[in-house]
Structure 1
Amino acid sequence: MRYTSAALRDAWALSRPFWKGEQRWAARGLLTVVVLLNLALVGMNVLLTYWQRGFYNALETKDWDAFISLLILGGPTEQFGFIPGFCIIAAIYILVAVYALYLKQALQIRWRRSLTGSLANRWLDHRAYYRMAVQDRATDNPDQRISEDARLFVDSTLTLGLGLMRAVVTLLSFIFVLWGISGEITVFGVTIPGYLVWVALAYSALGTWLTHLIGRKLITLNFVQERVEADFRYALVRVRDNVEGIALHRGEAEEKAALEGRFGAVIGNWWAIMTATKQLTFFTAGFSQVATIFPFVVVAPNYFAGRIPLGGLIQTSTAFGSVQEAMSWLVNNYSEVAAWRATVQRLSGFHEAIAAAEAHSGEGPSLRPEPRDGLKASGLTVTLPDRRPLLEDAALSVAPGEAVLVTGASGSGKSTLFRALAGIWPFGQGEVSVPEGKRMLFLPQRPYLPLGSLRRNLAYPSPERSFGDAALLAALEDVGLAHLAPRLDMVESWDRVLSGGEQQRLAIARALLQRPDILFLDEATASLDPVAEERLYRLLRERLAESAVISIAHRPAVAAFHDRGLRLQDRKLVPA
């Protein structure tokens, strides 16, 4: 019970923004219509039991006129008065069923859009995605949680919720039907009214309890299956995105072994799910088979004694089966409930990880805009996630138009210093002052190339229509990529189409277009030959003469394009 209440609480926390947000009235209205349509389906099922009673009684008495009228337009019955014919009931049932499903799907897509947008926005806001990537290694595969788990949560919550509601309403409706037709029985001198109701309830309660005992391990196994499936899928994506590196290293055998290992985890857990499902299915299948004949066995003595007609036997069997099936809702949906709980756990865990990242969003060196020119850092301490220091109490000042080269041994923390100056590194302290209203641009060694056209990649992070064709083509020519001009509006996976050097040239073209006030270059030309590197640095200094430039580089020739140097050594930033 404790785990059930926790799952329901977590599910409500995930659902609250949709049902209480801006779309709440449309969502609630749509849900109300869906609920009413589902209730109408239950009502028609109740109506059909009375139709069955009259129909089978007509068969038993060989009443042709009643048989035909009950098939087409309807007619009077013994207990219900006039009842519509099967054709009318079926036509209305089909119409209601179609729109119950259609409007439920409309509600699903609205809810999924809201939940996915909420998760994606919170993941991206306050750079929660970045902190989770560098520190929260336990929150695996955020892409799957935002896309697949959100879809499964919405679909399962609506399907199971509406199914449970229908089961409860069916139970209440058919209990009255069953009570009215079951009569009473005397056991050991005690007269039990509506005895079939008590038999159905006892039978279903026993089945539900045994199902939970047998199948509860599926909850944990489904949770693990989601994780190992996502891990395997992520490994495949990594291979796809690094085909050249793998080919150059002749790493196919190692990649195969790694993929086999991850897929082995998928197979191993799946076998455990199969075993648990087999045990559960042995019981549920047997339970369902017995439930098919059980009401006939219970009612047969009254039928053979002539106390009820054939139609009464059929109606009793249908009502008993409906009560039993409604009470056995958990028996019939246990695997789906287990998968739903696993999905809720993954989404709530992701939700909590985002909340934790948001709670720490103000940590790390602060980035403060000031009405001044240039960049200034003071009291700057940079640490790793485990709090080991890389830089202690450093100061830095770069004036407009000044170029500073930062050097240091590999692993000394130069790139991490740049992240701190960018205001994204969450570990450490100090203050970085940047010109208010001015633009900064960071070019890492491996540029980020978003999905889309070459035009979008050149304009990034500005909207792709921020620059005219003439400016884009001129930037391509300036950096030596004129041959790409005809492909300006082509959509490609540019991180795989372009070589490492071409990607870095494209990033320099961005800088020429963006004209930032402060430009950070972290080994941004390391994939180019020395001649091309010198040419591009010269181009930057000429075109961005008023911009402050801070570079990380190792080649001595690059120093010629900088006014002074700093070296990161022994956790200090000293003149080079």
Structure 2
Amino acid sequence: MNWSEKLSRFRGFLSQVWQLSLPYFQSEEKWRARAMLAAVVVLNLAAVYMLVLLNDWNRVFYDALQNKDQGIFWSQLGRFTYLAMIFIAIAIYRFYLTQLLQVRWRAWMTRQMMGRWLSGHAFYGMELARFTDSDTAPLTATGLPAPGQRVPDNPDQRLQEDVNLFTAQTVGLSMGFLNAVVTLASFVGILWALSGSFSFSLGGESFTIPGFMVWMALLYCGVGSVLTHYIGRPLIGLNFAQQKKEADFRHHLMRVREYSESIALDKGEALENRNLDTRFSAVFVNYLKLIAKQKQLVGFTNLFGQAAMVFPFIVAAPRFFSGAIQLGELMQISNAFDRVQTALSWFVDNYDSLASWRATTERLTSFEAALSRQNQTQTAVENVAPAEGFSGVETRDLTVQLPTGVTLLQSANLKAAPGQHTLLQGPSGSGKSTLFRSLAGIWPWARGKVTMPKDAMFIPQRPYFPDGSLRAALAYPELESQYTDQALQEALRQALLPGLIDRLDDYDNWTQKLSGGEQQRLAIARVFLKNPAWVMADEATSALDVPTEQALYERLRDMTEQAGGALISIAHRPTVTPFHNHFWKMRPDQAN
């Protein structure tokens, strides 16, 4: 890669940082954010100014020691006391405001990304896209990745870890860079004035180099920066890979916990252990590569730092021993050289952090791009108002495909009027559940027009229950405070869950705590609680015994009839057929 390409990539990286950073400072919190940023900048400038004053104090104090002048010695100790106290106060508030800016920025950025991830079914579309080749989905422009685009993995890591790292590293590194630039500007003049000139002869000619110590600092740090870049360059890719592999390992651990009962019943512990070990081995192997490179970088940077401690004394020693400068000036030169060298060595000292920052920025940028694609996507299924005199479920020219391009339903016109309790029939794999997703407007590979009453609820095959109180799980996705205890208890009673009536305030992981049948009845209890006119049930009673299933279906049918709607079901059991008077039949090649 030539320098032009490297410069272009660096500009692209800075553009990514700018695009991720700017929205916060233009948000509804912009004045607070800008004020904190300005305060942090001022405090950094004040800290550098204090270092300049302390550098001058070094000269006077050490000259007093060399001259054994007690009056100046004690006077300078008093001066040092108030300079140190001011410096400590600046350091405390610089730390506090820097951390406050970081955490407020993180909070805003997390809420913004989290809101976008959870709006418009973006989280669902991104999960579908992870397992889909966009070239095989010809039906819609769904926001799925274009060829060559990478679908972000582990959104939980992006929202929790990467946002935190990005805000912390952006604030820390940018303020560190500002501090280095201001320190360099403040001390390079001091070092130039103190270092004197260096004269030498070459080929019979005499040459003089003014500000010799400044040039030596530039040379020393320039060589160090180049060597650091070549030693540490692999860290960027290794940091990116480490974050991904750690997230993959954590994700599979969570899945084992989520499906612990199924794994235990299947006696899948050994296989899961192998799968987890494979993922952890990837973490371990990459980490070994990472620390091997970090070892090389740490070795070089420590050598560089230790040599910098004695380098100015070696260069300035001849002038001191010749009597050209006193001990105070020698110490001032050493201190000024250290400040200039530290400022110039900012790249060396922060290379590992820069590599991590770049990897984090690239991960967040890809996540942001995927969110933008999903948020800008319009579903190909158009929700339309019902025709005059009709108040049921209707599709017009509805075509449904799989991601592979296989057509499940072609230009279908389906109707279910109030009172028409409809059973969706067909063999497994014919697309019944996919049709339900299309009716709900969440399936990307569908087009056509759908009329769906507002007063409708879907009962999925796998109901979701948030961890927490039973009343919160029952009221989901609405707030539990919207329902009285009597309403919640009656819903449980209607769903044939009398054993849970007195447990509304119990906190638990209900997905793990309840059996499959209890989970299905709790999902149906939600429906009784909210009393919708239309209910779309996808295998909602598959884990129940026949008498319980029949009792619940009878109650669901009666509830929807009284509300002026109907029940639309997917079920394979013939025992639910008597509760329906209308049928949609799907075949593997086409639905009618």
Using the size of structure 1 for normalisation, the TM-score is: 0.95
Report the secondary structure of 1:126's partner residue. coil
User: Deviation at 1:490?
Assistant: 2.2
User: Deviation at 1:455?
Assistant: 1.0
- 1:32 maps to what in 2? 38
Cα distance in 1 between the residues matched to 2:219 and 2:322: 25
Cα distance in 2 between the residues matched to 1:279 and 1:246: 44
Q: What's the CA shift string for 1:340-385, capped at 9, x where partnerless?
A: 00000000010111122233x2133222344751111011111122
Letter of the aligned partner of 2:162 in structure 1? D
Identical-residue share of aligned pairs (%): 47
Alignment of 1:154-193 (within 5 A): 154-188=167-201, 189-193=206-210
Matched, 1:116 2:110: yes
Letter of the aligned partner of 2:43 in structure 1? L
Report the secondary structure of 2:572's partner residue. coil
Letter of the aligned partner of 2:294 in structure 1? T
- 1:94 maps to what in 2? 88
Distance change in 2, residues 1:127/1:187 (3 Å): farther
Letter of the aligned partner of 2:128 in structure 1? V
User: Deviation at 1:402?
Assistant: 1.9
- 1:81 maps to what in 2? none
Cα distance in 2 between the residues matched to 1:99 and 1:321: 25
Letter of the aligned partner of 1:498 in structure 2? L
User: Deviation at 1:409?
Assistant: 1.1
Alignment of 1:499-510 (within 5 A): 499-510=515-526
Aligned-residue Cα RMSD (Å) equals 1.2
Cα distance in 1 between the residues matched to 2:86 and 2:502: 60
Q: Structure 1, unaligned stretches of length 5 or more?
A: 73-84
Match of 1:445 among 443, 453, 461: 461
Cα distance in 2 between the residues matched to 1:413 and 1:135: 19
Q: What's the CA shift string for 1:105-130, capped at 9, x where partnerless?
A: 11111100111011111111221111
Matched, 1:378 2:372: no
Letter of the aligned partner of 1:482 in structure 2? P
Higher RCO (C-alpha under 8 Å, 6+ residues apart): 2
Distance change in 2, residues 1:136/1:356 (3 Å): farther
Letter of the aligned partner of 1:426 in structure 2? P
- 2:130 maps to what in 1? 136
Letter of the aligned partner of 2:519 in structure 1? Q
Report the secondary structure of 1:386's partner residue. coil
Cα distance in 2 between the residues matched to 1:143 and 1:384: 27
Contact 2:408 2:591 in 1 (8 A): no
Cα distance in 1 between the residues matched to 2:404 and 2:233: 38
Contact 2:394 2:414 in 1 (8 A): yes
Contact 2:537 2:568 in 1 (8 A): yes
Report the secondary structure of 1:323's partner residue. helix
Match of 1:198 among 215, 239, 247: 215
Match of 1:236 among 253, 258, 267: 253
Using the size of structure 2 for normalisation, the TM-score is: 0.93
Alignment of 1:113-512 (within 5 A): 113-137=107-131, 138-188=151-201, 189-359=206-376, 361-370=377-386, 372-435=390-453, 438-512=454-528
Cα distance in 2 between the residues matched to 1:191 and 1:389: 84
Letter of the aligned partner of 1:8 in structure 2? L
User: Deviation at 1:452?
Assistant: 2.4
Cα distance in 1 between the residues matched to 2:291 and 2:383: 53
Contact 1:128 1:354 in 2 (8 A): yes
Report the secondary structure of 1:572's partner residue. coil
Report the secondary structure of 2:586's partner residue. strand
Cα distance in 1 between the residues matched to 2:384 and 2:23: 32
User: Deviation at 1:261?
Assistant: 0.1
Cα distance in 2 between the residues matched to 1:289 and 1:468: 70
Cα distance in 2 between the residues matched to 1:497 and 1:369: 42
User: Deviation at 1:23?
Assistant: 1.1
Cα distance in 2 between the residues matched to 1:87 and 1:16: 41
Contact 2:392 2:452 in 1 (8 A): yes
Report the secondary structure of 2:379's partner residue. coil
- 1:76 maps to what in 2? none
Contact 2:439 2:452 in 1 (8 A): no
